Chains A and B, each alone.
Chain A
């Protein structure tokens, strides 16, 4: 009981500390309407969103940028992979880990063929017309989760679906949706 009170009290106090107030401000400014998926550094940055991933045991793949090489680590595959196969029409979670000195983000292309209503992603908030979604920019040693639903199979896409890191050219993880 005392513990529960403590947790609630902590939550209220934490809210007062204003950790996320800049996010509220960003939303008010319409910041999230133009999603930044390039190399640009956002004015608003959720610094608390790193190293807090509770999905550690069950992502579809962990995508690492290490020594300039982008690779996907998946349970069952002994070697890092360049192709990730994910079930169609089901939310899948990737974890992106940055071991590069520069701040990096991971971008998932969602393809030209999307589900009805132009929603290829589970993230419902309005975003740019480009068919992609991305993580925050994160510094070395940090990690971010990205949950995506691919409603259409790869054969329906003009170009392969990919996971890329802006600023790291010539490298991509291909996402195959059967």
Chain B
């Protein structure tokens, strides 16, 4: 209705020029999208490619989707060619309208039965895969996964057979043993998120109040990238994760180190000063297990009082991870990161277990984060706009730290490994 009305106004002429332009823009956008899709399909470095399964669960899905894709593709081609032929063959060339008939039962029944049969066959295999992927009785290692705006928390329940005698808590990178049936028990602290490591399995929603399970198993040691895949607010696109598979021996070393006691920095070092800044500024949100206040009491974080989701990443072993802030930033400089990512599976474990040291630390991104986190990752952390959340932040706020405090904090954070 608007179009017609506006055409009748004196502005109509200008509008139609605009419409022609819009049309041309649309065409160009379409061509560009097509070209990008085509070129994108040639990418060799595509860590989130669903067509490159790296474990048995993803393989099951792949084995299902390849033939289904082939069948659907062949049918798609037949239908497209038939339509194109009919359009060309029966184009209006001024010929008389042919005799009209109603219905062809034999043809209609055939065209109903054939797709039904195809779908039934696909259905049988699909159901089998669905049930296989839902199995939980063959689990070898359980990891709890909790999503919140905009990062993932992992906690490893006590499992003596893996040497886990006290809970281990981490974020961003899910460390797991290769060749092992790992079961994630997923939930969320705020809105619905979805856990997806394309190389290892399909997606599974993390829903507040519910525990959903997701099987993961990696054939080989390595890093497998993923992405939160349920729109969850401002920084949804920055809510990433990586699954890190280690050999069983390397995983045992990782477990042992995660449970190792806290080492306070030596007196008189910059790191020791950083510990004091941390106690003042950070411990109200971030837990560092074993960290004590000057009076000798354990410092217990209170994210429940400061953060809307009720949690902030546990930083006890920050420098054993390679990423931070929902795997949005690397903790390693590019060269060091490439060294880990491109290591062959025999060397990978040792390189990953080395963690982050001063020479390899991506100090720019970490400093930028400490200087003003909401500037580098969109978060609802503006203190002026927190009435709806009772003054609690979603994400990490800008703490207005001085550069010298940041120096101290970086020195301190480097000791957390």
Contacts and interface: CB of A to CB of B under 8 A. Distances in A.
Interface of A: 55, 57-60, 74-78, 83-91, 93, 113, 115-116, 151-156, 176-178
Contact of B157 (A78, A85, A91, A152): A85
B305 interface: yes
A57 B211 CA distance: 8
13 contacts: A58-B210, A60-B211, A78-B137, A78-B139, A87-B146, A87-B187, A89-B189, A90-B208, A115-B302, A116-B302, A152-B300, A153-B300, A176-B167
Given A90-B310, A178-B167, 20 more contacts: A58-B211, A74-B142, A75-B136, A75-B185, A75-B211, A85-B157, A86-B144, A87-B144, A87-B155, A87-B189, A88-B311, A89-B311, A90-B208, A91-B209, A115-B302, A115-B304, A116-B302, A151-B310, A177-B167, A178-B314
Interface residues of B, number: 35
A116 B158 contact: no
B320 interface: no
A55 B210 CA distance: 8
Nearest to A120: B304
Contact of B310 (A84, A89, A154): A89
B298 A155 contact: yes
Nearest to B154: A178
B153 interface: yes
A156 to B, nearest CB: 4
Contacts of B189: 87, 89-90
Given A83-B157, A176-B158, A77 B142 contact: yes
A89 B209 contact: no
A59 B167 CA distance: 20
Contact of B158 (A55, A59, A85): A85
B303 A89 contact: yes
The 5 closest A-B pairs by CB, nearest first: A89-B310, A85-B157, A178-B167, A58-B210, A76-B183
A85 B167 contact: yes
B185 A76 contact: yes
A76 B139 contact: yes
Nearest to A151: B304
Contacts of B298: 155-156
Given A75-B185, A76-B142, A176-B158, A115 B305 contact: yes
Contact of B209 (A58, A83, A88): A58
B300 A155 contact: yes
Interface in B121-149: 136-137, 139, 142, 144, 146
Contacts of B187: 87, 90
B144 A85 contact: yes
B300 A156 contact: yes
Contacts of A177: 167
